[in-house]
Structure 1
Amino acid sequence: MYYKIITSLLFFFTTLQVGAQQYKSVLPYRVVGGKMIVEMIMNGTVRSFIFDTGGRTALTGEICEELGLSVVDSLMVTDVNSKKAAYPLVTIESLMTSDRKVNFKNVSAMKLPKPTPFECFNTDGLIGSDLLVQTIVEIDGKAKTITLTSAEKPSSVSLRKMLPFKKSGMPIIVLQAGVGNNIVALFDTGCPGFFSLKNSDYENLRGTGAFRVLSEGYREGAIGVAGMAEANISHRVCFPVLSVGGTKFQNVTSETATPPFTLLGVKLLDYGKVTLDYPRARFYFEAKENENDIASKRYNVALRVHNGELMISAVWGEMKGVVEVGDKITHINGKPVGIYDFCDSIINGIPELQAKKKTKLTVRAKQGEKVIVYQKE
């Protein structure tokens, strides 16, 4: 499940109050199901939030009702499927870092519909880029820390490691695909992978030699604030070289999707430290290595849990026409499947599918029962 809120309207009511002109706050984070989770003190109580540089600050409908937060305005947002919808806004009186060194006052936050989309992560909302526009944010994937620093001086990181934001307020930068091919991408810590290619960028780059097509697939749409998109054709591609500033990534595999931007995801932090100087609209990447080969293989079908059952959510390559999206899995290696918990499958995966290179799946298809080999290609 990939739930995403993206909006271009960022500057609202938030003010920043700290005990001195200069400040520094270090927030530990943990990774749950590919999401960065941080603790913040909201109106005097410690709460958990997803830290999402690609999104906007938001609260679940449940926590809004629990705290009695009144709707003060509304906002038009664009979700991961590029669908637009208006959502109510509430105001958080105080949103403080867990070390109490930084206090954001009168924070504007979107009120999300019930039931909460964040149930699997046990969080009460999102911390988005709109909250951070007055700060310098350093994200250290090795130490699992987010450091917020006052921005009276620019970052000390070398400008040779810097890419300018294409749009003030959000870390949208330009990547290089091979030689002479630019891709505008949003650095999005809410994206659990390394790289996700927008459909229109796929079309613009097709035929340039920027990537090669590995296979064509058919898959469910992502879950956004406006609901789940219809299943559609997707392409699995490999970029021989994708450059983030002076750092080269070789053999970058991606699947095309429908977000408003191509996404550079949270797995970038596996390869170095990111600093976002929001006031100066600068993105810095301090790589561990200047060149990184991240070649990987992906499964020929994708699976997800729906109402306790295991079902096919995407088919790729030679599996197209053999099984379809929505077909149910009845047996794994000849043994009947159990009843699965949706959240547990997101956080921990399906136990029977782990630590095996090839797995036989019995599928209840429209044309009858079929046995397929679930494997990477």
Structure 2
Amino acid sequence: MSCLQSRGVSAFSCCGFIAGRRAIRAGGITIGLAALSSALGASALTGAALASDVASAESPALAEGPELAAVLARPVAVEHPAPTTVIPFERHRHMLVIEAQANGVAREFVFDTGSPSMIARELADELGLRPVGSNTGRDANGAQVTMDFALLDRLEIGGVVFRQVPVLIFDFADIELGPCVFDGGVIGSEILPGSAWRIDAQAGEMTIGAPGAMPPADGAAVVAPLHPAGYPHPPISDYRIGAFSDRLLFDTGSGEAVVLYDKAAADPAVRGAIVPGSHVRGHGSHGVSAGGMGAPAPLERFTLDDFALGGRAIGPVRATTRVVPPSLIGTGLLDSYIVTLDYPGQKLVLEPRTDPAPARDEAGYSLAIAGGLVQVTQVFEGSPAARAGLRSGDRIVAIDGARLPEIGPANRCETMRWLAAEARPETVERLTVLREGEEIALSLADQ
């Protein structure tokens, strides 16, 4: 699961363990990180990086290891009531939100192909879920997080039933804005095998297909392989940039179109594919994940004129970077394509949309609520914000003259929604920051 911030206000990014970045040790079986490393390919750059992490990751014994190891070793059972089932979804910022029933209790869940499934602790307690093990893994920023494992007897999505689903139990209240974003939790990648998943953001619909039920792709579609992997069965495919090739994860927890692992981004072939004049550098956090806010780091954005999936060019594409593997494609591609993850057919299909969404604006900075404050979490060089003097880490006390309140549990969700709806960075003209006890008004409109 990626925690990369969406452009502009990043009140919260989908949080949790990055898919596969955990080593679950049970009965002599190492599951998850090793599976993703294998799927990425031992000779691939990102696969090799993950394989290195397998050797160094902490792998605590599970309380009931053999039971859980057996569950994780087999695919989740799925029952299709019809060849295809269509369900609606909503986009909350970049996240896809669907309704599902966990053991008969209806809740909203974030649909995140880059994460294992996670149940909110409050819901787990309501359902009486019994932990069958625990695991220490790394979140999308690389921070260590420990969660309990449990088995969900029945997960129902639009009439499609998944049985004996392994879920991680997580208290989203541990993250400042978690209760504002997550209701039931996260539906992740372990339920994907056994079905084809067609995600159409233009229609706001997701189609879940039984094996062989999806129509064949037409000639305009991009078709790339899906590589089988063990738990949590992440959707891994191939990409190429010039002479550089590797594997990546399709991650609906990321709002970007393309996110390159920084060691992949440093390859000379990749640097040579960057459109002149499109490259901007910045500094800041990649956002919030299960372990909290990521540490500040160098940031990059650029346009690639040569980017191919499964040997088929889809460039030019806007890309950014991350400090942990693997590389990703995210929901930014849904602005231009209908994406199908056909697990039975072992293929990733991108159909061009008839009405692509307009290109997104890049404000050159991001804001987030952290520690009861609205803070600047990213600033890119050369942007109006940077020219106005905005710095990563600045505390914001007013936006276009509107004073920000003290933020606490009673108003944090309301403030988050206001920031997302009324204070989008690409529309803001003036920010007032507090530095060393002094308020400084910065005019972005004059830059």
8 Å Cα contact 1:69-1:91 kept in structure 2:
yes
Give the match's secondary structure for 1:115.
Answer: helix
8 Å Cα contact 2:79-2:161 kept in structure 1:
yes
1:305 to 336, 351, 369: 369
Quick check: 1:104 aligned with 2:162?
yes
The aligned runs of 1:150-299 (5 Å cut-off) are 150-151=210-211, 156-158=216-218, 161-168=222-229, 169-177=233-241, 179-205=242-268, 208-211=271-274, 214-245=279-310, 246=312, 248-250=314-316, 252-288=317-353, 297-299=361-363
How far residue 322 of structure 1 moved from its aligned partner, in angstroms, is 4.0
Work out the percentage of aligned pairs sharing the same amino acid.
22
Residue aligning to 1:363: 433
8 Å Cα contact 1:90-1:110 kept in structure 2:
yes
1:16 to 58, 61, 77: 77
Give the match's secondary structure for 1:267.
Answer: helix
CA distance in 2, matches of 1:376, 1:206: 38
CA distance in 1, matches of 2:416, 2:269: 33
CA distance in 2, matches of 1:205, 1:123: 44
CA distance in 1, matches of 2:357, 2:268: 22
- Give the stretch that moved more between structures: 113-122 or 142-151: 113-122
Residue deviations 1:57-93 (CA, integer Å, cap 9, x gap): 1111221122221101234544211345442210111
| Structure 2 letter corresponding to 1:6 | I
CA distance in 2, matches of 1:339, 1:40: 35
Say which structure is richer in helix: 2
Question: CA 1:192/1:120 → structure 2, altered by over 3 Å: closer, same or farther?
Answer: farther
Say which structure is richer in strand: 1
Question: CA 1:87/1:338 → structure 2, altered by over 3 Å: closer, same or farther?
Answer: closer
Structure 1 unaligned blocks of 5 or more: none
TM-score by length of 2: 0.72
2:197 to 112, 127, 137: 137
CA distance in 2, matches of 1:6, 1:310: 26
How far residue 272 of structure 1 moved from its aligned partner, in angstroms, is 2.1
8 Å Cα contact 2:172-2:182 kept in structure 1:
no
Residue aligning to 1:315: 379
Residue aligning to 1:58: 118
8 Å Cα contact 2:83-2:210 kept in structure 1:
yes
8 Å Cα contact 2:19-2:234 kept in structure 1:
no
The aligned runs of 1:61-140 (5 Å cut-off) are 61-98=121-158, 100=159, 102-115=160-173, 117=175, 118-140=178-200
Structure 2 unaligned blocks of 5 or more: 1-11, 21-31, 36-71
Residue deviations 1:136-184 (CA, integer Å, cap 9, x gap): 111122222222222156752258631012453322222333x333353
8 Å Cα contact 1:33-1:347 kept in structure 2:
no
RMSD between aligned alpha carbons? Answer: 3.3
